[in-house]
Amino acid sequence: MSFKNKGDRVGMSTCRYVGMSIIWGALLLASCRNDAEVFEPEAEQAGQPEKTENIVGFYLLNQGNMGSNKATLDYYDYSTATYKRNIYGEANPSVTKELGDVGNDLQTYGNRLYAVINCSNKVEVMDRQTARRIGQVDIPNCRYIQFDEGYAYVTSYAGPVQIDTEYKQLGYVAKVDTATLKVVATCLVGYQPDGIAIANGKIYVANSGGYMNPNYEKTVSVINLSTFTEEKRIEVAVNLGLLKLDSRGQLWVSSRGDYADIHARLHCIDLASETVTHTLDVSASNFDIVGDSLYFVGSQYDKNTNKSTTAYGIVNVAEHRVVSDNFITDGTEKSITMPYGIKVNPETHDILVSDAKNYVNPGTLYCFDKDGHQKWNVRTGDIPAEICFVTTDVNTGGGGGDDPTGQSPYISHVFDFMPAPGQFVNIMPLYEDGDDSETMRQKTENCIAGHNQEMISLGGWGGYVVFGFDHRIPNVPGDYDLKILGNAFYSTSEFPLYGSSEPGIVMVSIDSNGNGLPDDEWYELAGSEYHSSDTRHGYSCTYTRPATNTDVSWTDNQGGSGKVKHNTYHTQEYYPKWISADEITFNGSRLKDNGAKIGTTCVLYQYPWGYADNHPNNWDKSRFPDTTDENLIHVSEFKIDWAVGSDGNPVTLPGIDFVKVYTAVNQDNGTLGEVSTEIIDAWDLHMLDSDGNKR
């Protein structure tokens, strides 16, 4: 071999460089790793914009394959005909690992949206308008949800384990207080309970026994709502699935059969007699009842032909018979592989059918008009399953039942948190490296929303927080509508009362543009000092970030200046660290100073009424047992009647959606530091009484 010749050398080095260049060039062409971004929703036009009466859109919950963590939420807006895929991430960018694994049920109740996330063992509670997360209820292997009188009832497979000859595990229904999002009671039912419905003071639960093949369950459990115990069982058929009420006092239950010899069926139970009155030879994987029509989609696997057949039919619930065996009239059902979900728009009778395809890839949602012609279709997430309509009407629950009180009396959302410099700033809530306005807002929300009652401090004069509820607080003329809780207290003084009072001015706003954001006009709730000549309206104060960790200087628009003094008890920076600007200016009204020295002691006087963190949170009944003074009884409570416009004239608001509180006094009190309003909670007084008990 003549490997010494020149040609060979060239060949060798050419090979080397070509080889390396190909490899490394290709790797460079291939992309590097980026930070994973929160999912951006994908918007797509589907159909034409429609004028609707009450229904403005619908949510669709995609199950996602087990273990994929791909339960996602889509939203369709009728007014713009846009379908937005995967909106949860945008609405809740800070939620770790998003919505979760295997979404099983979706309902609205009051102003909330409830998604049952089966393999994440939780019910996700969101704001109905924005899909913003309010909280979650941990229920293992949860399946379906219904509501009644402020409680949610959720079926779960995960009851106590029985070690019999075989492993068995009963399921249960969890009763969840929608105000506290806590499970308050459980009631055992049959094996692997699925569908649930509530009527006539009873809960009906379809037991499947799905884990016990071939010993499937055959019964519907009947639970007495008031005692929350199982009363009886109604024998129906093997492997029950969904269960829904019609308007004629009948309960429709689907049975899935044993996937072999016993076929899937649809059964009708008469609620008066609690007996099965009709059984139809219909495979209803999913169904929806509107008026007298029960629309179903189904697919039936035949082990002899090894094929699945699909059905799209309508049952007349009054006549108990199939009146249409294919509501799709234009032949487009051929493109549907695996019909999975169905929902009928009760206003237009448009039929929404979802196709789960092969379970691992995105599905499709089809919309048919009432005559069965396809109007549009759109790509969904993986395994599109449950659909839930959203109505404009704020106080009416959607698919969740007819009780309107699925609302929380507590703060549901903090929109903005901007404290002025102060001794508790950067501590309450705690600033950590990397925090920004949004994370601080979230922390503030975690403190005061949902009855969490962790204190936040608004800092010196002007510092504010803006929060809202999951519903509009109505203005009931003459009544106290709102309560805001702080940390004020009385010392044992005579009148005028003093102790610790760090008053904050309360402003309110109504969402007149309907965008869910506090960008509408603000109205001050005029308290006892509003018309005082000592109150400086149109006041403005600018704070400057000190170069070192020391006092924070301020100047106002009336020639005044001063310092928020750094004290030895609180050694952190007083200027909000997440704010990049070196100056912050606040505008509003400044009340006269309420701090004074009695001897060597600094005290803070209470104003008569109308300010947050001014009086204690509760009527001091031990000190003023017989008082008739409303200001001592309805401490920290507010009337929307007090609202005034910027011109000082009273305005009548039908209700409020947003509340802003800001520190009203600009005074340093020596060892007590600056006056700074503190907030821990706020309530809708039409849902709770002054002591926080449910009305």
Partner 1 sequence: MELRRTYISVMLCGSLTTAAQSQEVADSIVLEDIAVWGSSNRHEIVPSQQLSGKQLETLSNLSVADAVRYFSGVQMKDYGGVGGLKTVDVRSMGTNHLGVFYDGVQLDNAQNGQVDLGKFSMDDVESISLYNGQKSDILQSAKDFAASGSIYIRTRRPRFTGGKRTNILGSLKVGSFGVVSPYVRWEQKWSDRISSALSAEYLNANGRYKFRYRKVLKNGETAWDTTAVRENGDVKSFRAEGGLFGRLDEGHWNAKLYYYDSNKGIPGAIVNNVWKNSQRQWDRNFFVQGNLKKVWGRYELMVNGKYAIDYLHYLNPDTTSLYIDNEFTQNEAYLSVANHYAVTDNWDVAVSADYQYNTLSADLTDFVYPKRHTLMYVAATTCEFWRIRVMGSLLGTYVSERGKDLNEFSPALFLSFYPLKCKDFCVRAFYKKAFRMPTFNDLYYTDIGNIRLEPEYARQYNVGLYYNHNWQRGFFRSLETKVDGYFNKIDNKIVAIPKGSGQYRWMMMNIGEVRIKGVDVSVKTGMQAWKDWTLNLTLNYTYQKAQDYTDPNDPTTYRGQIAYIPWHSGSAIANLGWKSWTLNYSFIYVGERYHTSANIPANYEQPWYTHDLSLSKDFTLRRTLLSVTFECNNVLNQQYEVITNYPMPGRNWRCIVKVKI
SS in 3 state form for 222-289? EEECCCCEEEEEEECCCCEEEEEECCCCEEEEEECCCCCCCCCEEEEEECCCCEEEEEECCCCCEEEE
> Of the candidates 338, 579, 651, 688, which one interacts with partner 1 according to CB under 8 A?
338
User: DSSP states of 621-660 as a string?
Assistant: TTTSTT---HHHHSTTEE-GGGEE-TTS-B---SEEEEEE
Work out whether 20 is an interface residue with partner 1 (CB under 8 A).
yes
Applying CB under 8 A, does 288 fall inside the site for partner 1? no
Nearest to 220 by CA among 265, 264, 267: 267
> What character string, x for contact with partner 1 (CB under 8 A) and - otherwise, covers 422-451?
------------x-x-x-------------
Shorter beta-carbon distance to partner 1: residue 169 or 224: 169
Nearer to partner 1, 119 or 659 (CB): 119
Nearer to partner 1, 37 or 626 (CB): 37
21 phi and psi angles, rounded to 5 deg = -65, -40
Rounded-to-integer distance, Cα 299 and Cα 205, Å: 23
Residue 199, C-beta contacts closer than 8 angstroms, at least 6 positions apart:
245, 249, 251, 271
Q: Taking the complex as a whole, how short is the minimal distance between the CB of residue 379 and partner 1, in angstroms?
A: 6
Nearest-angstrom CA–CA distance, 637 and 647: 24
Least separation in angstroms between residue 291's CB and partner 1 is 23
Residue 186 touches partner 1, criterion: CB under 8 A: no
Residues 613-642 that bind partner 1 (CB under 8 A): none
Options 47-55, 279-287, 367-375, 489-497: segment touching partner 1 (CB under 8 A) = 279-287
Contact 431, 443 (CB under 8 A): no
Tokens 């609180």 identify what position? 570
Residue of the chain from 48, 49, 66, 395 that contacts partner 1 (CB under 8 A): 66
The residue among 1 and 581 lying less far from partner 1, judged by its C-beta, is 1
Considering only residues 463 to 482 of the shown chain, the ones binding partner 1 according to CB under 8 A are: none
- 60 counts as binding partner 1 under rule CB under 8 A: no
Q: Is 10 in the site for partner 1 (CB under 8 A)?
A: no
Q: How far apart are CA 281 and CA 279, in angstroms?
A: 7
Q: How far apart are CA 78 and CA 58, in angstroms?
A: 8
Q: Which stretch binds partner 1 (CB under 8 A): 195-203, 282-290, 483-491, 581-589?
A: 282-290
Q: Is 213 in the site for partner 1 (CB under 8 A)?
A: yes
Site for partner 1 in 94-153 (CB under 8 A): 94-101, 117, 119-122, 136, 138, 140-141
**In this complex, which beta carbon is closest to partner 1, that of residue 311 or of residue 661?**
311
Number of residues located near partner 1, criterion CB under 8 A: 100
Per CB under 8 A, contacts with partner 1 among 30-59 are 30-40, 42
Judged by CB under 8 A, the chain residues 377 through 396 that form the site for partner 1 are: 379, 381, 383
Of residues 340-369, those binding partner 1 (CB under 8 A)? 340, 356-362
Give the residue, chosen from 306, 568, 652, 693, that forms a contact with partner 1 under the rule CB under 8 A: 306
User: Does 24 interact with partner 1 (rule: CB under 8 A)?
Assistant: yes
| Cα separation, 218 vs 134, whole angstroms | 37
Window 506-525: residues binding partner 1 (CB under 8 A): none
- Quickly tell me which residue has 């959302």 as its tokens: 413
- Report residue 476 as tokens: 């009931």
Q: According to CB under 8 A, which one of 57, 150, 209, 257 is a site residue for partner 1?
A: 257
Q: Which is nearer to partner 1, 24 or 184 (CB)?
A: 24
Task: Give the shortest CB-72-to-partner 1 separation in angstroms.
Answer: 7
**Binding of partner 1 by 220 (CB under 8 A):** no
State CA 586 to chain mean position distance.
31
Give the whole-angstrom CA distance, residue 286 versus residue 245: 14
Q: Is 326 in the site for partner 1 (CB under 8 A)?
A: no
d(Cα 467, Cα 365) in Å, to the nearest integer?
Answer: 37
Listed ranges 333-341, 521-529, 534-542, 571-579: which one lies at the site for partner 1 (CB under 8 A): 333-341
- How many beta carbons lie within 10 A of that of residue 42, not counting itself? 12
Min dist CB 510 to partner 1, Å, is 30
Residue of 161, 318, 323, 596 interacting with partner 1 (CB under 8 A): 161
Amino acid at 253: V
Please identify, among the stretches 85-93, 535-543, 590-598, 609-617, the one whose residues bind partner 1 according to the rule CB under 8 A: 85-93
| CB nearer to partner 1: pick between 169 and 540 | 169
- DSSP character string of 138-199: E-TTEEEEEEETTEEEEEES---EEESSSEEEEEEEEEEETTTTEEEEEEEEEESEEEEEEE
Options 49, 201, 214, 514; binder of partner 1; rule CB under 8 A:
214
Q: What is the 3-state secondary structure (H, E, C) of 575-607?
A: CCCCCCCCEEEEEEEEECCCEEEECCEEEEECC
Interface of this chain with partner 1, residues 662 to 691, rule: CB under 8 A: none
Amino acid at 364: T
Nearer to partner 1, 86 or 589 (CB): 86
Closest CA to 262 of 244, 295, 287, 237: 237
Structure tokens at 21: 């260049």
Looking up tokens 């497979």, which residue turns up? 157
